[in-house]
Amino acid sequence: MKQSTIKFLAGATVVVAVGAFAASKLRSRETAATMADEPVLPVLQDRVNDVTSVLIESKDGSLTLERGSEGWMLAEKNGYEANATKVRELILALREARVVEEKTANKERFDRLGLDDITVADSTSKRVTLKDDKGETIAALLIGDQRFAKGGAAPAANPNVQPGQQYYLHPAGDGPALLATGELRIDARPVGWIEQQFLDIGRDRIQAARVIHPDGTTVEAARAEMSDAEMQPLGVPEGMQAKKLNGTRPFLDALARLRFDDVKKEDQVDWEASEITTAEFFTEHGLMAKVETVEIPNEDAKLDEEGNPLPGQSKVWARFEFQMADEASKPSMPEQEADPNPEEPEGDATSTEEDAPEPEKEGPTAAEQAKELAKLQAKTKGWAYALPSWKSSAFRLKPDALFEEIPVPELPDALKPAAEDPTTILDDKND
């Protein structure tokens, strides 16, 4: 074969190869352009209401959200009520997720996108699986790293994307990884899917409180008037006085915006792990919250010399019981004796509308009280709550939080006994 022919064939081969490569790139771009703004999970578009189970998995474990007759519940917390709004937002975010562009189909490169499998030791991905009431999978995908657009601008493939709301995804199957839009930050903590605030009885409603310690020591406080800013300690021990900085404030705030760190079925807590302390809180109109607490050391707790867990090495678990209480059971301020010689008011004896006392606010009706009581009982019955350390002290308040020793006044120098003359003492001994 002539040298010129060989050169011609070699050149033609290069041209064909370059053309094939260019065509491949063009098809890839056309595919990416075609997929842009398409739903990541097309099957979910018409099946949002069919989702009855959401499984979230990561290298640290899994959680299952299930929809029942009473709404969404968290299986890992024995069916405790889940945050239904947060669950719906996740499902809708998955439905609304849109493709920005197609990425690699080579699974060996998925780790660069945070899409390594959850079984990998240092994996950061989350796997989300949506199922229907028959247990069949509707959709599943792996969610990897969040991508922040450079310079705060959205990629050209989708100019409507908000910077920071882009994630690398891999829908289940053999398809490629995708860069997609959507608010897809996934919380893999079970406690992150339940509403941790479970009570909110404000300080303006608390009239009295009592703590009964295992040894019988009782701490009580009450308001003389509901308009009083603070409670007054009751039953001041002999030789003690109420602290100037009122220590009853924790009582007033104990049930306000109360959150838990963890929740379990009541029978899953070892109530004999230590002695139970009982707290009782009374509202003005008769509602009483009885709260029993027990301190349980952590499994690896560090103990002091007396065998008690060090601060931060234990949890205080609480169980609640709500009921209506009569006035006789409430701690109350002692009644003051009437002044036998009351002073006459100064000035004009004629009264005006401005001088008249404000009418008392009407309390809740019996029906309203019954409704609140039933709601509180349904919410808390059968459950135990791990209380935050900064809040649990209110349910276990000790006398030293309210009282202090009465200081012995120092005598003036003129009244102090004169010091004896040492020489006189020596003379007495010599005699």
The whole-number pLDDT of residue 15 equals 45
Residue-wise pLDDT for 99-145, tens only, equals 999 999 999 999 999 999 999 999 999 999 999 999 999 999 999 99
The whole-number pLDDT of residue 339 equals 53
The whole-number pLDDT of residue 424 equals 57
The whole-number pLDDT of residue 189 equals 94
C-alpha to C-alpha distance for 191 and 263, rounded to whole angstroms: 9
The whole-number pLDDT of residue 92 equals 96
Token pair in block for residue 24 = 């491949």
Q: What is the value of pTM for the model shown?
A: 0.76
Q: Which residues contact 205 (CB under 8 A, 6 or more apart)?
A: 283, 284, 287
C-alpha to C-alpha distance for 182 and 194, rounded to whole angstroms: 22
Pair 82, 74: CB distance under 8 Å: yes
Q: Which residues of 200-233 are buried (b: 16+ CB within 10 A; e: fewer)?
A: ebeeebbbbbbbbbeeeeebbbbbeeeeeeebbb
User: What are the extents of the domains in the chain?
Assistant: 30-193, 197-333+365-405
C-alpha to C-alpha distance for 126 and 142, rounded to whole angstroms: 6
Token pair in block for residue 14 = 């290069």
Q: Which residues contact 104 (CB under 8 A, 6 or more apart)?
A: 110, 113, 176, 177
| Parts of the chain with a pLDDT under 50 | 6, 8-10, 12, 14-28, 30-33, 151-161, 338
C-alpha to C-alpha distance for 84 and 94, rounded to whole angstroms: 16
The whole-number pLDDT of residue 2 equals 56
